Structure 1
């Protein structure tokens, strides 16, 4: 008795796509096991990006309680040497970030730069453990920053490759930033404990092992162009139809370059906002402990737990990322900067210690509101211009943040020395407030005087974004 094989695809054109999807899923299930399917999934990309940023921040933070002790007690140098050593991280980050970004975009690879960065991170961390002189520590710190440039830039580019633009991109980037926050909290705690109970080299060995584990994990993922070759980016094609933006193609438009992105007013405006946010956020690091010690006689342990109150609220980043797609990214960036300015001013007021902690919680939450929407906003700009430069646009974000990290502590220290803590924080608050007003003013000037029908409005991407924000808000209302 023989059976004829029923055709899987229906003759009815209305059901053809459904059955075609079913057949493709069956073939995929037979061809690949669960491990291979996971390697090709978006979940794997999010996991790898989160692990990379977590590891980078753990390694960054784990040396915070250790390096001052090494420089002062073992090498017998002053606080100025400690400050320079901490600033060397940003120097390495600034120097290496463009290299990794251009390599990633031009040669259509994300894995290679990430592998180079993570492998370098493991090696330079071990170098901390064997360094005997101050300049060896400086070299190790610069190399650590250079390796961090790959983790930040390429991780964000990987997410943009797979998620394109829309609410999902904001949510996953917020989630990854939460992993970064967890690393910022746990790093100093792990470093202090390991150094105290297991000796000088133990924190660096721990970091090297963690970085090596991440190195092996990066080897697992499959790059977007490989998925295209295997004809496995079905969800990418769906996103292309829905958003009008190709996702997962690294070489759609190679005309976008680092220089063309810098000259774009919208991208430059975002980078200015990021620079200001980062400078204020990092600027309180060297001056807050001094203020707490002088005014409230807080010990180092108390200061450490107080500073955690700034970090913990940043776990709201996934919520902010989702919300930014609904109410508008520019609106949240401006609102977050104004809230950050208010929080900085409140910290400066001579409150009781408990009220200062509340102000610091507001400061950390405002930081997330201001900074998180900048990431999907830059990704959407590149996507709308054909893609192909995600690595480079996030390199600019990373470089702007690095300049802020480098300038903020220096400016904060100078203001504290010559004007005191109150005016240092007020200076930060006024600068943030003026920057937010500038961004809003630039957008509204174009809204008032540009004629959208004649195409003049398109010359101001930030004004277009503001119009889109207004449309989104009106739709919600």
Structure 2
């Protein structure tokens, strides 16, 4: 007697396995609650948000106290303050490609994140015991190098799980909100701990926070584990699956290289915009506390609270991320840069403290509008070209931001030293405005000289955006 093996799934589309509840039962039998949570999109968002929160707390906790340490304790000038702020970006710039290539080439997200967060805890403790300026420089560079993993890998994980479209923009905006919370709490905690518990207390706090984040990183799901879940979904959908030919694991296609990304004009233009935005946003950090101290005699705790006005408006990032998918990322980037230039000029005016705080709030909102669309824009570019280079494309974003973080504080310190706060902010405003005109100039050239078949400047990101907008309008009409 012979028995035919019953097929696992019926070809009948009305089979019970197509029911969502049945799928959940299968998953519960295969995985425990912890494994199901690890594989959920919620876990990815939480891990990425926690990593960016921790990184920003570590970065921002010294904002109200580092100028005081350098100028009062070490008796150095504002140029030394600016250079020390920029050292974080120097470390970030150097370490980012290493973490990105390690992550994409070896198909791992967990290992680079663990290395980065563990190193962050150690070097932050070293920062707390440093007694000389050059010890502070070494510790600050090491902090930046460790932080390179958080940004690069976190953004790559989000692109792994959410692909492209409006959802990616919303999720990245949401994670940037966690970054905003870190930016809010960092200066406040740093100012209060330094003022009431001494020099080392802010850095001990950051080391403990980094260790806690190290534990959460252990939950990271690797791309090949995600691929196993995709195969299960294919099986439950009763589709023909060929694991060698037809299925591409999420985030591990190696068709795109770092060099091919660098040669793409769209990527270059985004990175130029990111560099300029970061230069101004970071350039204000070492000079604003000095200006507030000299003009209004503010203490570190007050300076920390004033920084809330900069970062609270950036909670609009999820809204900006969603809006960018509807009106176009390039449009919002250009508008945001013009608004950021305007707000920089307003901060420079000799207002009362209340009006300066209002201008800083405008500055924070404009920063969110300008910077948020750059993240899903790069992710969509990689997805449309076969995937596999999310870590590397966000490494380029991170490197551009790092260069901005490096040159911005240094230039800000030099301008403050030789020309004063007013002209420093006016220089920042002019730089942003010129950059926005450069990006928009492609649009103007395209509109003036494009021929009937729209063949002029095919690689211009602004021109491509205009074509897409026109097609959308024609379809609506």
Q: TM-score range by the shorter chain?
A: 0.7 to 0.9
Normalising by the residue count of structure 1, what TM-score does the alignment of the two structures yield? 0.88
- Could you say if the C-alpha distance between residues 289 and 190 of structure 1 is closer, same or farther in structure 2, counting changes exceeding 3 Å? closer
Larger % of helix: which? 1
1:219 Cα offset (Å)? 1.0
CA shift at 1:361, angstroms?
A: 1.2
- Does the C-alpha gap of structure 1 residues 232 and 48 become closer, same or farther in structure 2, counting only changes over 3 Å? farther
Per-residue CA distance 1:81-112 (angstroms, 9 max, x = gap) = 44332221111011101111111111111111
CA contact (8 A) 2:44 2:157 kept: yes
8 Å Cα contact 1:326/1:473 also seen in 2: no
| Superposed displacement of residue 341, structure 1 | 1.3
Does residue 1:371 correspond to 2:351, yes or no? Answer: no
**1:143 & 1:232 partners in 2: Cα distance?**
47
- Give the 3 Å change call, closer, same or farther, for CA 319–244 of structure 1 in structure 2: farther
Task: Flag the 1:469–1:289 CA change in 2: closer, same or farther, 3 A.
Answer: farther
Deviation at 1:378, TM superposition (A): 0.6
Gaps (5+ residues) in structure 2?
Answer: none
**How far apart are residue 348 of structure 1 and its match?**
2.4
Distance change >3 Å, CA 91–CA 234, structure 1 → 2: farther
Distance between the aligned counterparts of 1:417 and 1:172, measured in 2?
41
TM-score (normalised: structure 2) = 0.88
Structure 1 distance, partners of 2:236, 2:182, is 32
Q: Which moved more, 1:337-346 or 1:160-169?
A: 337-346
Equivalent position of 1:284 in the other structure: 284
Structure 1 residues 415-424 or 165-174, which shifts more? Answer: 415-424
Q: CA deviation at 1:26?
A: 2.5
Structure 2 CA distance for aligned equivalents of residues 210 and 270 of structure 1? 32
Q: Relative to 1, partners in 2 of residues 1:156 and 1:238: Cα closer, same or farther, differing over 3 Å?
A: farther
The structure-2 alpha-carbon separation of the partners of 1:237 and 1:133, relative to structure 1 and needing over 3 Å to count, comes to: farther
Residue 458 of structure 1, CA deviation: 4.2
Aligned-residue Cα RMSD (Å) equals: 4.0
Contact kept? 1:239, 1:245, Cα under 8 Å = no
After TM superposition, give the deviation of residue 140 of structure 1 in Å: 1.5
Contact preservation (8 Å) 1:125, 1:207: yes
Tell me, yes or no, if the aligned pair for 1:447 and 1:457 is still in contact at 8 Å: no
SS in 2 for 1:241: coil
The answer to which of 445-454 and 223-232 deviates more is 445-454
Task: Give the paired residue count.
Answer: 473
CA distance in 2, matches of 1:235, 1:52: 38
Q: 1:221 to 1:232 in 2, by over 3 A?
A: farther
Contact 1:331 1:466 in 2 (8 A): no
| Equivalent-residue separation in structure 1 for 2:401 and 2:113 (angstroms) | 19
Displacement of 1:169 in angstroms is 0.7
For residues 181-192 of structure 1, what are the structure 2 equivalents within 5 Å? 181-192=180-191
CA distance 1:2–1:268, change in 2 (3 Å): closer
Match of 2:163 in 1: 164
